[in-house]
Amino acid sequence: MQDIDVIHLYLKGQASRCFNLLYERYGGKIYAKCLSMLGSEAEAQDAAQEVFTKVFLNLAKFNEKSKFSTWVYSITYNFCIDYIRRKKKEKAIFSDDIERAPDIEEDDIPDKVLLELNLEQLEKVLMSLQSTDRAILLMKYQDGMPIKAIAQHFNKTESAIKMQIKRAKERARKLRGEYTIEEPA
Amino acid sequence: MNAFDKMQEQNLETFEKGPRQQMRNELTGTLGTIRFLGSVADVYLNRMVDTFIGMAGGLNPKQEEPNPDDGGRSRSVRPTNEGYPNK
């Protein structure tokens, strides 16, 4: 049964069966993303429960303009970002300077700088980033979202998003001890 | 499988071994409570609103019109076709 059919059934009153279906499909992934964002299993569990509750309380508002999974993960990332900001009192992530920056050229640092990290290195890189940057990397490299969609989610320009990704790669490269720019193949 | 995929796999394993069932139980309880409170509100909210309106002096649409002879103090009308004397 497709997600949208499950949602329609849920809204018609078959709550228990539909809850179980959606929980099996998304419970683990919501938790996994919360754990990647928050770095703590206990916090990830609390966050995942709140996200799931939020998803179910707002199912009637899902407007089918995007995939259900995209909608669920958006709620997940937004919740985690807000949680981190409240907890750490993070300052605004996107400064006006970045917004006014000229369009950057295509990112010249290869993706493999991030993709070939081991798990421990990747966790260090993610935890060293601000919450929004973490979400951007997960959206791009884990969820496969295009830059345009990520920019729309955060209501920012594509250049701003590319800049954040490039900075994350630079941080990863420093972590691995690489100081020379690799020539693209 | 790249590093991000491996991280997701690892986190999913953590979920399966750890909080999966506990989270399910707690969510079932939470959502059940919310649905119950919603049902209660659906049933009683209208009655509560009517009660407050009545207490504030507003007319309940089910009430009959006041008797104009006593300046509207009375809130019920004695039907004239049943032999009740009008004062």
Q: Which of B72, B44, B84 is closest to B63 using CA atoms? A: B72
DSSP state of A59: G
Q: What does the alpha-carbon distance between residue A105 and residue A179 come to, in Å, rounded to a whole number? A: 20
Question: Has residue A176 got a pLDDT over 80?
Answer: no
Q: What does the alpha-carbon distance between residue A176 and residue A116 come to, in Å, rounded to a whole number? A: 10
Q: Which of A118, A86, A185 is closest to B4 using CA atoms? A: A118
The shortest C-alpha distance from B32 to chain A (Å) reads 9
Q: What is the number of other CB atoms lying within 10 angstroms of the CB of residue B14?
A: 18
pLDDT of residue B21: 93
Tell me which chain A residues have a C-beta less than 8 angstroms from the C-beta of B12.
Answer: 28-29, 31-32
Q: What does the alpha-carbon distance between residue B54 and residue B48 come to, in Å, rounded to a whole number? A: 10
Q: Tell the residue number behind the tokens 């100081």, with chain if given.
A: A179
- In this complex, the residue of A15, A52, A141 whose CB is nearest that of residue B2 is A141
pLDDT of residue B78: 47
Q: Answer whether A53 sits within 8 Å of B31, measured CB to CB.
A: yes
For A116-144, what is the mean pLDDT? Answer: 91
Q: What does the alpha-carbon distance between residue B14 and residue B20 come to, in Å, rounded to a whole number? A: 9
Give the A window 96-155 contacts with B, CB below 8 Å. Answer: 114-119, 121-123, 137-138, 141-142
The shortest C-alpha distance from A100 to chain B (Å) reads 31
Rounded to the nearest integer, the mean pLDDT of chain A is 84
Q: Answer whether B14 sits within 8 Å of A118, measured CB to CB.
A: no
Q: What is the ipTM of this complex?
A: 0.82
Q: Answer whether B4 sits within 8 Å of A142, measured CB to CB.
A: yes
Rounded to the nearest integer, the mean pLDDT of chain B is 75
Structure tokens belonging to residue A68: 């259900």
Q: Answer whether B12 sits within 8 Å of A32, measured CB to CB.
A: yes
